[in-house]
Protein backbone atom coordinates (compact mmCIF):
# COMPACT_ATOMS: atom_id res chain seq x y z
CA UNK A 1 0.00 0.00 0.00
CA UNK A 2 1.60 3.21 -1.18
CA UNK A 3 0.13 6.67 -1.53
CA UNK A 4 1.72 9.80 -2.96
CA UNK A 5 0.27 13.05 -1.61
CA UNK A 6 0.92 16.64 -2.57
CA UNK A 7 0.88 19.20 0.24
CA UNK A 8 0.75 22.97 -0.19
CA UNK A 9 0.11 26.17 1.73
CA UNK A 10 -0.07 29.86 0.90
CA UNK A 11 -1.78 31.38 3.96
CA UNK A 12 -0.27 32.12 7.33
CA UNK A 13 2.89 30.28 8.34
CA UNK A 14 3.23 28.17 5.20
CA UNK A 15 6.15 26.08 6.43
CA UNK A 16 4.42 25.33 9.74
CA UNK A 17 1.36 24.10 7.80
CA UNK A 18 3.51 21.73 5.72
CA UNK A 19 5.21 20.47 8.87
CA UNK A 20 1.79 19.85 10.42
CA UNK A 21 0.81 17.79 7.37
CA UNK A 22 4.00 15.73 7.68
CA UNK A 23 3.26 15.04 11.37
CA UNK A 24 -0.30 13.93 10.59
CA UNK A 25 0.55 11.88 7.48
CA UNK A 26 3.66 10.18 8.95
CA UNK A 27 5.27 9.56 5.55
CA UNK A 28 8.16 7.23 4.78
CA UNK A 29 9.60 9.78 2.33
CA UNK A 30 9.36 13.58 2.12
CA UNK A 31 10.53 15.81 -0.73
CA UNK A 32 12.22 19.14 -0.32
CA UNK A 33 10.19 22.34 -0.16
CA UNK A 34 9.30 24.07 -3.41
CA UNK A 35 7.89 27.57 -3.84
CA UNK A 36 5.42 27.92 -6.66
CA UNK A 37 3.15 30.47 -8.24
CA UNK A 38 -0.57 29.74 -7.76
CA UNK A 39 -2.39 27.92 -10.57
CA UNK A 40 -5.91 29.15 -11.36
CA UNK A 41 -8.25 30.92 -9.00
CA UNK A 42 -8.08 34.49 -7.74
CA UNK A 43 -4.87 36.48 -7.35
CA UNK A 44 -3.02 35.14 -4.31
CA UNK A 45 0.39 34.64 -2.72
CA UNK A 46 2.87 31.94 -3.74
CA UNK A 47 2.63 28.45 -2.28
CA UNK A 48 5.10 26.27 -0.50
CA UNK A 49 4.70 22.71 -1.79
CA UNK A 50 6.11 19.26 -1.12
CA UNK A 51 5.29 15.64 -1.88
CA UNK A 52 5.12 12.83 0.66
CA UNK A 53 4.98 9.07 0.20
CA UNK A 54 2.98 7.15 2.79
CA UNK A 55 2.23 3.53 3.54
CA UNK A 56 -1.53 3.95 3.12
CA UNK A 57 -4.27 2.88 0.75
CA UNK A 58 -6.44 5.53 -0.92
CA UNK A 59 -9.07 5.42 1.82
CA UNK A 60 -6.52 5.93 4.59
CA UNK A 61 -4.66 8.61 2.64
CA UNK A 62 -7.85 10.58 2.00
CA UNK A 63 -8.93 10.35 5.64
CA UNK A 64 -5.54 11.60 6.88
CA UNK A 65 -5.45 14.31 4.21
CA UNK A 66 -8.78 15.65 5.46
CA UNK A 67 -7.59 15.41 9.08
CA UNK A 68 -4.45 17.41 8.28
CA UNK A 69 -6.43 20.11 6.46
CA UNK A 70 -8.88 20.34 9.34
CA UNK A 71 -6.04 20.60 11.88
CA UNK A 72 -4.60 23.49 9.85
CA UNK A 73 -7.94 25.32 9.87
CA UNK A 74 -8.65 24.84 6.16
CA UNK A 75 -11.86 26.44 4.94
CA UNK A 76 -13.26 25.88 1.46
CA UNK A 77 -14.64 29.26 0.49
CA UNK A 78 -13.26 29.93 -3.01
CA UNK A 79 -12.39 27.17 -5.48
CA UNK A 80 -8.62 27.24 -6.10
CA UNK A 81 -8.41 30.09 -3.62
CA UNK A 82 -5.76 30.64 -0.97
CA UNK A 83 -5.53 28.03 1.75
CA UNK A 84 -3.76 27.28 4.98
CA UNK A 85 -3.20 23.69 3.84
CA UNK A 86 -4.15 21.71 0.78
CA UNK A 87 -3.49 17.97 0.71
CA UNK A 88 -4.21 16.07 -2.51
CA UNK A 89 -3.99 12.32 -2.98
CA UNK A 90 -2.04 12.02 -6.23
CA UNK A 91 -1.84 8.23 -6.50
CA UNK A 92 -2.82 5.48 -4.09
CA UNK A 93 -3.68 1.81 -3.99
CA UNK A 94 -7.32 0.68 -3.69
CA UNK A 95 -9.77 0.80 -2.12
CA UNK A 96 -10.70 4.27 -3.36
CA UNK A 97 -13.55 5.99 -1.51
CA UNK A 98 -16.43 7.58 -3.39
CA UNK A 99 -15.65 11.16 -4.36
CA UNK A 100 -11.87 10.66 -4.70
CA UNK A 101 -10.33 10.53 -8.18
CA UNK A 102 -7.09 8.55 -8.28
CA UNK A 103 -4.77 9.25 -9.94
CA UNK A 104 -5.35 12.97 -9.43
CA UNK A 105 -6.86 14.21 -12.73
CA UNK A 106 -4.54 17.24 -13.09
CA UNK A 107 -1.31 15.89 -11.59
CA UNK A 108 0.27 15.44 -15.03
CA UNK A 109 0.07 19.19 -15.72
CA UNK A 110 1.32 20.49 -12.37
CA UNK A 111 5.04 21.04 -11.93
CA UNK A 112 4.45 21.76 -8.23
CA UNK A 113 3.48 18.09 -7.90
CA UNK A 114 5.87 16.53 -10.39
CA UNK A 115 9.11 18.33 -9.40
CA UNK A 116 9.02 17.35 -5.71
CA UNK A 117 7.76 13.86 -6.63
CA UNK A 118 10.90 13.21 -8.69
CA UNK A 119 12.96 14.00 -5.57
CA UNK A 120 11.39 11.16 -3.58
CA UNK A 121 11.14 8.72 -6.50
CA UNK A 122 13.23 9.40 -9.59
CA UNK A 123 11.56 6.47 -11.39
CA UNK A 124 7.97 7.35 -10.47
CA UNK A 125 5.21 6.72 -13.00
CA UNK A 126 1.85 8.46 -13.01
CA UNK A 127 -0.63 5.76 -14.07
CA UNK A 128 -2.15 6.51 -17.45
CA UNK A 129 0.23 9.41 -18.12
CA UNK A 130 3.82 8.15 -18.00
CA UNK A 131 7.12 8.71 -16.26
CA UNK A 132 6.95 11.65 -13.87
CA UNK A 133 10.33 13.04 -14.97
CA UNK A 134 9.19 12.99 -18.63
CA UNK A 135 5.90 14.69 -17.76
CA UNK A 136 7.83 17.36 -15.85
CA UNK A 137 10.23 17.92 -18.76
CA UNK A 138 7.28 18.32 -21.12
CA UNK A 139 5.69 21.11 -19.09
CA UNK A 140 8.22 23.73 -20.09
CA UNK A 141 8.70 26.79 -17.92
CA UNK A 142 6.45 26.85 -14.87
CA UNK A 143 7.27 28.98 -11.88
CA UNK A 144 8.63 26.36 -9.45
CA UNK A 145 11.69 26.99 -7.31
CA UNK A 146 13.43 24.55 -4.93
CA UNK A 147 13.87 26.19 -1.50
CA UNK A 148 17.12 24.72 -0.18
CA UNK A 149 16.83 27.03 2.84
CA UNK A 150 13.59 25.41 4.05
CA UNK A 151 13.29 21.90 5.50
CA UNK A 152 10.42 19.67 6.63
Positions annotated as catalytic residues are 74, 83, 86, 88
Do residues 50 and 86 lie in contact, with contact meaning Cβ atoms separated by under 8 Å?
A: no
Alpha-carbon distance of 150 to 98, in angstroms, equals 36
**DSSP state string for the chain:** --EEEEEEE-SSSHHHHHHHHHHHH--SEE---EEE---SSSS-PPEEEEEEEES-BHHHHHHHHHHHHHHTT----STT---S-EEEEEEEBSP--TT--SS-TTGGG-HHHHHHHHHH-TT-EETTTEEHHHHHHHT----EEE-TT---
Alpha-carbon span 86 to 115, nearest angstrom: 17
Amino acid sequence: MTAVLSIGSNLGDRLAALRLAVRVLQPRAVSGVWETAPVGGPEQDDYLNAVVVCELDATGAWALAQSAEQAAGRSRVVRWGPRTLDVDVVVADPPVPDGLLVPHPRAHERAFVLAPWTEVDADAVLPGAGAVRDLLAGLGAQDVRRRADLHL
